[in-house]
Amino acid sequence: MDEVRLGFVGCGFIAAAHAAMLAPVPDCHVGPVFDVDADRAAAFAGDTGARVVSSADAVAADCDAVIVCTWTSEHAAGVDAALAAGRAVLCEKPLGVDLAATRALARKVDEAGVVNQVGLVMRRSPAFRWLRHELTRAENGRPMNVVFRDDQYLPVQGQYASEWRADVVRAGGGALLEHSIHDLDLLDWLIGPIDRVSAVLGHAHGIEGIEDQATVTATTASGVQATLVSVWHDILRRPSGRRVEAFCADALLTIAGEWVGPVTREADDEQSELADRELHRWARDHDGDRGNPDGAFVVAVREGGPAAPDFAVALRAHELVDAAYRSAAQNGVPVPV
């Protein structure tokens, strides 16, 4: 195809982020678009030059691929519209409000055989790609323990303004499902497969069903341990941030900035650091330019796939989140994934 037409179902904050990533991608354009909030759809269309239509089905009928950016409970409806029209689909994470819904959706996508991708974008981070590479280097010794902190202000406010994230029916959960599904996916990618987790949750904001604190301990069959601390606070100058310390037998590997670092390696023989352009250059030279997930999706649609990460990868992340919730319901008892 000469030009890829990308339809949007859902036109809020994350849709705008996708549109911004698509802007520099050649031979593609946005439209048509649909949102249950007509004013939001009109504003998004005004920013992107797209055409507003009346339903998700109407979006899928007139595009090459569908990008689903609704609240979580409506992801299935957007994906179903894409599948019914035989379209490629990129769906935001999490895929569903619980594991059962996600399994059903992933099965339908697999059976449809369409190009599919999920918004687990942190796998494309130069910082985390560097860390994954360093964890495999014999010079660093065997991986032992990872300490992972993720903090974000409660996303019903500020630039996110996602009031639906305070509604457990639409969101399915809080910091663990809606945000740190990224982090459990990363840990499984970095040191996994994870085979057992223990978790405790907190609800400092008092929003029913929406945890704003999660502490998860994860272990692998090979004996690597990890601790994830995820917090939703009210510090509006901190929209999102991740810090990671990975201890190997012979080196300490640190991420102080989730995308462009700095990242550091500390061992007996040296201490080194990469950040910003140097880190981007390392990532590009090591395994190619993987920075723009939307651009990669456009290429996959044009070439007929595959795309990554796909729904199968997202399903695994949901299995990890589900295990953490099952543990928390049992006061932190370790449970198998």
Segment 153-176 mean pLDDT: 97
The answer on pLDDT for 1 being more than 80 is no
Q: What is the largest CA-CA distance in the chain?
A: 63
The helix or strand, by DSSP H or E, that contains position 231, with its residue range, turns out to be strand 225-233
The answer on pLDDT for 243 being more than 90 is yes
Has this prediction a pTM greater than 0.95?
A: yes
Instruction: Answer yes or no: are the C-beta atoms of 124 and 132 closer than 8 Å.
Output: no
Nearest to 92 by CA among 112, 108, 72, 107: 72
Q: Is 304 left (phi over 0), alpha (psi -120 to 50) or beta?
A: left
Concatenate the DSSP letters of all residues of 176-227 into one string.
Answer: IIIITHHHHHHHHHHH--EEEEEEEEE-TT--TT--SEEEEEEEETT--EEE
pLDDT at 289: 77
Find the radius of gyration of the CA atoms of the chain: 20
pLDDT at 320: 98
Percent of the chain residues past pLDDT 90, beyond the cut: 97
The band of 290, judged by pLDDT with boundaries at 50, 70 and 90, is confident
Q: Where exactly are the structural domains of the chain?
A: 4-114, 122-287+317-336
Segment 160-167 mean pLDDT: 96
pLDDT at 287: 86
pLDDT at 157: 97
Handedness of CA 182, 183, 187, 190 (dihedral sign): positive
pLDDT at 67: 98
pLDDT digits (tens, 9 = 90+) for 8-19: 999 999 999 999
Concatenate the DSSP letters of all residues of 115-144 into one string.
Answer: -EEE--GGGG-HHHHHHHHHHT-GGG-SEE
pLDDT digits (tens, 9 = 90+) for 33-61: 999 999 999 999 999 999 999 999 999 99
CATH homologous superfamily for 4-114? NAD(P)-binding Rossmann-like Domain (3.40.50.720)
State both tokens at 310. 């796909």
pLDDT at 291: 76
pLDDT at 321: 98
Peptide bond into 126 cis (omega under 30): no
Beta-carbon contacts of residue 128 (< 8 Å; ≥ 6 apart): 122, 186, 190, 255, 258
d(CA 315, CA 293): 19
pLDDT at 236: 97
d(CA 37, CA 63): 21
pLDDT digits (tens, 9 = 90+) for 86-132: 999 999 999 999 999 999 999 999 999 999 999 999 999 999 999 99
pLDDT digits (tens, 9 = 90+) for 250-287: 999 999 999 999 999 999 989 999 999 999 999 999 98
pLDDT digits (tens, 9 = 90+) for 186-220: 999 999 999 999 999 999 999 999 999 999 999 99
Residue labelled with tokens 């809020």 = 12
pLDDT at 53: 98
pLDDT at 156: 97
Average pLDDT of every residue of the chain = 97
Protein fold of 122-287+317-336: Dihydrodipicolinate Reductase; domain 2 (3.30.360)
